[in-house]
Structure 1
Amino acid sequence: MGRTEQGQERRRVASDLAQAQGGVVSRAQLRAAGIDRFEVRTEIRAGRWRSWGARTVAVTTGDLADEGRLWRAVWETGGSAALDGASALTAAGLTGFEVDRPVVSHPHGHTVASPEDVDVRSVIAREAGELAEGGIPRVRPAIAALRGASWAVSDRQGALLLCMSVQQGITTAEHIAQWLPKVALWKRRTFIARVVADLLDGAKALGEIDFAQACRERGLPEPTRQAVRRTPTGRIYLDVAREEYGLVVEIDGSQHRQGLAVTDDNLRQNEVTLGS
């Protein structure tokens, strides 16, 4: 095989490896595939590949895709680093929650790098079964939600991350509750436990948790959440209900102002009122 064919073959191999990794490949993967550092240097100097640190190579020269940034964060940190917090949840499918830098964690005492554009966190230890199987190294969603809430810049941001994780089906309130006593948290454990209790009780959004807190502060009993009503068009779920008083409270989040949601909400309110 001539040099031209060899170059084409290594680019094909590298492209295949990078396809499921956001366009990036680790130097260790390249070595395992028979592509040495001199061949990597050749591709970079030719302007076909781009180096993104000591361990990461992109098979294109543009900016990294979001998925590529996550893989790079794990590789450049090194050791037994894995995505954690909001970044692990993003890798699991969470949308709408932005973080400035990818978040990775590593067990305390392990020697790792600390890239400037990666938020590197030390955890006391990896719990048994903590890491998700397959794909990018990351902790399981329930643990990531708990740690992310603890690392958040505020109580409200932490509560939002927990709510979104459950609301979008990334994890469940039950799974979060199961891991809560096992996972060491940096701070706000009492607050997080209260939010998890609200999620277990049926809260689905931050506004519903705010409502529950307002009830507690005023000495009001806990309402029934996600109460079921049957209407001519089928079953609907009400955010908050006080059955004994015939009182219903609907709590609108931002999703209630998107597309046809306003019309749907108005029609649903008519059905609830007429059926009362």
Structure 2
Amino acid sequence: MARVPEVVRDLAQRQHGMVARRQLRDLGLNRDQVASNVRAGRWAERSPVVVSTFTGELSREQCAWLGVLHAGPPAVVGGYGALERHGLKNWHRDDITVLVDEGAHLEPVPGIDWFRTRRPLELWKSTSPLPMARVEPAALLCAAYEPSWRTAQGLLAAVVQQRLTTAARLREQLERMKPLRRAPRFRILLTEIAGGAGSLAEVDVTRLCRDFGLPSPTRQRRRKDRTGRWRYTDCEWDLSDGTVLVLEVDGAFHMEVEHWEDDIRRQRGLTAPGRIVVRCTSREVRDEPFQLAADLRALGLAALCA
């Protein structure tokens, strides 16, 4: 067979080895030439309309390319897959969501979830070479259709906490996406996040304080520990006697031994004369707020209440 044209090699390199048959046709390769490469074991058919210029298992990036190339424009990667690629950590999902036009008729592709929408996908695209939704529309649409409201809240808090976007940018995008499921609840949540809550647990602490008549905490206060390292505390209150009460909220991943030990070491480093550091779990904040509120009052927080 004749050597593969350089333009085809360049395209395949930009797309991590994944190419659509329509792209190859536009670059001058006919069906027989493509079939010859597949039969020879140089290329592999990945779907009826997509081939790879290599054989073997696909990486996650290549799976994402498979999805958008199979669907064709204006398809973009969305959902957790897009957010993961933007840098979101600890929210991995195996399947990759591809947002496609509502009228698209697509056969199933293993590992790809088609999400049909009338939204303006071209306007949502990021600057990445991979057709992919920007953080804000990807996060809001994903949260809107997430079965668990708890998970939906956590996702929006996480993209802000991990500095992928801001509550203000999410709010702006939310107004451009009218109508959207859960939009009224999202507005309340984003207002709470904008007030300084960097995680869903901090949002829960703020609600706990409001519900039980306790003063709102200062969140993410920057402090040096005894080694001179800068730390950010979850929640702090300045008590009337000059003592500082610090509450650190542990999420589920803190149960792993290495994180647990890191948090114990962190607590020792932040504890100082005049500064009390206590810990709770995110489950306690969510399921036993009355007990946590009572404990905070016993440590002196009640003195600040009207």
Question: What TM-score, normalized by structure 1, do the two folds share?
Answer: 0.82
How far 1:178 moved relative to its partner?
1.9
Distance 1:230 1:68, change over 3 A: closer
Residues 100-137 of structure 1 show CA distances to partners (whole Å, capped at 9, x for unaligned) of 422122344x4342535432223333178422124111
C-alpha separation in 2, matches of 1:128 and 1:61 = 31
Using the TM superposition, give the Cα deviation of residue 168 of structure 1 relative to its aligned residue in structure 2, in angstroms: 2.8
Question: Which residue number corresponds to residue 195 of structure 1?
Answer: 189
Deviation per residue, 1:175-221 (Å, 9 max, x gap): 21221222136522233333322321222223223323333443444
Residues 56 and 76, structure 1, Cα contact 8 Å, conserved in 2: yes
Equivalent residue for 2:272? 273
After superposition, the C-alpha distances for 1:212-267 in whole angstroms (9 at most, x for unaligned) are 33334434443221123355515432111122453221112326857477346535
Equivalent positions of 1:1-276 (< 5 A) are 3=1, 6-7=2-3, 9-10=4-5, 14-108=8-102, 110-117=103-110, 118-126=112-120, 129-184=123-178, 186-230=180-224, 233=228, 235-245=230-240, 246-253=244-251, 254=253, 259=258, 262-263=261-262, 266-274=265-273, 276=275
Conservation of the 8 A alpha-carbon contact between 2:76 and 2:121 = no
Unpaired stretches in structure 2, ≥5 consecutive residues: 276-306
1:148 and 1:171 map into 2 onto residues whose CA distance is 15
User: Secondary structure of the equivalent of 2:92?
Assistant: coil
Cα distance, 1:24–1:172 mapped onto 2, change above 3 Å: same
Residues 79 and 96 in structure 2, CA contact (< 8 A), matched pair in contact too: no
In structure 1, the gaps of 5 or more residues are: none
**Is the partner of 1:121 in helix, strand or coil?**
strand
Q: In the aligned structure 2, how far is the partner of 1:234 from the partner of 1:98? A: 30
Structure with the greater alpha carbon radius of gyration: 2
CA distance in 1, matches of 2:197, 2:32: 57
Would the aligned equivalents of 2:19 and 2:69 in 1 still touch at CA under 8 Å? no
Q: State the match for 2:304 in structure 1.
A: none
Helix, strand or coil at the partner of 1:228 = strand
Aligned amino acid, residue 261 of structure 2: V
8 A contact 2:225–2:269 mirrored in 1: no
Contact 1:85 1:145 in 2 (8 A): yes
Alpha-carbon distance in structure 2 between the residues aligned to 1:226 and 1:31: 55
> 2:74 touches 2:121 (CA, 8 Å); kept in 1?
no
Change (3 A) 1:267 1:224: closer
The letter for the 2-side match of 1:165 is V
With over 3 angstroms needed to count, the CA separation of the structure-2 counterparts of 1:218 and 1:18, relative to structure 1, is farther
Match of 2:303?
none
Contact 1:127/1:183 (CA < 8 Å) preserved in 2? no
CA distance in 1, matches of 2:121, 2:54: 37
Structure 2 CA distance, aligned partners of 1:163 and 1:199? Answer: 7
Distance across 2 between alignment mates of 1:174 and 1:186: 17
SS at match of 1:181: helix
> For this pair of structures, how many residues does the alignment match?
269
Where 2:273 maps in the other structure, the secondary structure is: helix
Q: Per-residue deviation at 1:44?
A: 0.9
C-alpha distance in structure 1 between counterparts of 2:263 and 2:89, whole Å? 23
Bigger mean CA offset, 265-274 vs 27-36:
265-274
2 CA distance for matches of 1:107 and 1:216? 43
In 2, Cα distance between equivalents of 1:217 and 1:250: 20
Root-mean-square deviation (Å): 2.9
Change (3 A) 1:264 1:112: same
Q: Is the Cα contact below 8 Å between 1:23 and 1:65 reproduced in 2?
A: no
Please say if residues 22 and 66 of structure 1, whose CA atoms lie closer than 8 Å, have aligned partners that are also in contact: no
